[in-house]
């Protein structure tokens, strides 16, 4: 039994033009010594996709078709760095030892990594603070609703109807569930930051 179904093309499918543009951007970043993360962010802005989608597409499909181009871009970067950087010599001793910029390049990469890491850490920290504030607000709301349910309000002399009690119970359970999820996500994020 043969299945001869035709699959509909997704409206967000990658086109050959998208793949070509993604390759151009990533190769440009390789040539200038930038990171793939920055290349994926630029690609995401230009192609209207997420940087994760661009990274996934690059590593899964496009990179395989551009191995020679990648090597050429790396070589161009090395040649450009050699022509831009002169040999550094120390002026304090008579025996001057030439130091190539390879160690400087490594330091630049470490600095870029640390800057990116710090940016991500700061974003996560702000996100944790926001979630913590939201969690505290929800806890306060739960306490307020609990006090309304357990202690009748002195202002209101009307008895609580079963329908009101049911609605309030549903609202309370929804808030408590949201607070539980926030606490779980806070714990997960705290572990991720550590």
Work out the number of other CB atoms within 10 angstroms of the CB of residue 26. 26
Find out whether 126 and 174 touch, Cβ atoms under 8 Å. no
**Distance, CA of 170 to CA of 165 (rounded, Å):** 9
pLDDT tens-place string over residues 98-131 = 445 567 778 888 888 889 888 999 999 999 999 9
Tens of pLDDT, residue by residue over 59-103, are 998 999 999 999 998 888 888 877 776 444 444 444 444 445 567
Q: State how far Cα 114 lies from the chain centre.
A: 15
Instruction: Taking the CA atoms of 23, 24, 25 and 26 in sequence, report the sign of the dihedral they define.
Output: positive
| DSSP notation for 53-117 | HHHHHIIIIIHHHTHHHHHHHHHHHHHHHHHHPPPB--SSSSSPPPB-THHHHHHHHHHHHHHHH
What are the structural domain ranges in the chain? 16-84, 102-193
- CA–CA dist 182, 59 (Å, integer): 34
| pLDDT tier, 151 (very low <50, low <70, confident <90, very high otherwise) | low
The torsion angle over the Cα atoms of residues 182, 187, 193 and 194, rounded to 10 degrees, is 170
Tell me what the mean pLDDT of segment 146-171 comes to.
78
């Amino acid at each position: 039994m043969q299945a001869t179904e035709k699959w509909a093309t997704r409206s967000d499918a990658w086109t050959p033009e998208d793949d070509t543009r993604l390759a151009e951007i990533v190769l440009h970043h390789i040539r200038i010594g930038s990171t793939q993360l920055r290349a994926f962010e630029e690609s995401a802005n230009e192609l209207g996709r997420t940087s994760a989608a661009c990274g996934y597409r690059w590593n899964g499909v496009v990179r395989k078709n551009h191995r020679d181009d990648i090597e050429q871009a790396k070589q161009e970067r090395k040649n450009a760095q050699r022509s831009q950087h002169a040999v550094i010599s120390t002026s304090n001793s008579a025996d001057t030892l030439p130091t190539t910029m390879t160690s400087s390049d490594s330091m630049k990469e470490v600095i870029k990594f640390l800057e990116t890491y710090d940016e991500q850490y700061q974003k996560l920290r702000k996100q944790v603070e926001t979630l913590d504030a939201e969690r505290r607000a929800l806890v306060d709301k739960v306490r307020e609703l609990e006090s309304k349910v357990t202690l009748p309000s002195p202002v209101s002399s009307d008895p609580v109807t079963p329908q009101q009690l049911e609605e309030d119970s549903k609202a309370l359970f929804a808030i408590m569930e949201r607070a539980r999820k926030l606490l779980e996500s806070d714990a997960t994020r705290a572990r991720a930051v550590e």
